[in-house]
Amino acid sequence: MLGKVFLFSFLLYITRSPILALLILLVILYVIDRRFIGLSPSLIRPIKRMRRISRLKQELRANPHHASSKLDLARSLMESGKYRDALSYLREVEPVMEESADVAYEIGLCLLKLGELDEGKLYMDKALQLNPRVRFGDPYLQLGEAFTHKDPHKAVEWLERFRQEQSSSVEAYYRLGLLYKKLNREPEAKVAFRESLEVYRSLPKYSRRKQRRWAILARFK
């Protein structure tokens, strides 16, 4: 905190403008966070995503039956939180990718996010049947999150299964802790947050940066 105050004072001395000094300070803190911590969202990624969506739509106007472009577009829309739009494209590629566990998972995820829980579960079950290790067990976490209020007991079963499948992701244990908190299961939530930190400490240095954000968030829970 003292370092930030000192830096702001130094910038104020140089710029002679509190507003400009504050803006420069925020930029510096943002760059440091993106480089070493990762708590702040990327400002560039959404722009790149919008450009990619625009490009893929142009490709589909030229070639409306290109399944690969439809799938890429659906995934970009999912990243933007536009699950209904993404689902429409996934439905179009489903007939030619019936044996794809990833496509079944993505359709299931869209349905769960849109509140279509029962149909979403059917697709998640299909994805797991096609590939029990699809997305490293994430279907169990998504099902647990979606059914938290409708079927808490089943949600816990899915969370425990996810714990068995995923043992090396700091983010996974952090999200698991959040879901336990939603279920008012504080002891299990604390264990999940603690395991998140333990997993982080066990990681090699080169992979800690990608997971550091989740470790910091878990530490404050």
Mean pLDDT of the chain: 90
Average pLDDT of span 83-111 = 98
Q: What is the mean pLDDT of residues 106-121?
A: 98
Residue 173 falls inside a structural domain: no
Q: What percent of the chain has pLDDT over 90?
A: 59
Query: What digits encode the pLDDT tens for the residues 5-40?
Result: 777 677 777 888 888 878 887 888 777 767 777 777
Q: How far apart are CA 155 and CA 179, in angstroms?
A: 9
Residue 59 lies in a domain: no
8 found inside a domain: yes
Q: Is the pLDDT of residue 67 over 80?
A: yes
Check residue 69 and give its pLDDT: 97
Mark 132-168 as b/e (b = at least 16 C-beta within 10 Å). eebbebbbbbbbbbbbbeebeeebbebbebbbebbee
What domain range includes position 24?
Answer: 1-40
pTM of the model: 0.82
Q: How many domains does the chain have?
A: 1
Whether the per-residue pLDDT at 2 is higher than 90: the answer is no
Query: How far is the CA of 182 from the CAs of 120, 142, 202, in angstroms?
Result: 21, 14, 27
> Which of 136, 142, 63 lies closest to 107 in space, CA to CA?
142
The encoded tokens of residue 153 equal: 């007991």
Residue 3 within a domain: yes
Does residue 124 fall inside a structural domain? no
Q: Is the pLDDT of residue 130 over 80?
A: yes
**49 within some domain:** no
Q: What is the mean pLDDT of residues 198-212?
A: 87
**pLDDT score of 41:** 79
Of 15-19, 56-60, 124-128, the range with the lowest mean pLDDT is 15-19
Task: Give the mean model confidence (pLDDT) for residues 111-121.
Answer: 98
1 pLDDT exceeds 70? no
Is there a domain that residue 20 lies in? yes
Mean pLDDT comparison of 8-12, 60-64, 167-171, highest-scoring range? 60-64
6 inside domain: yes
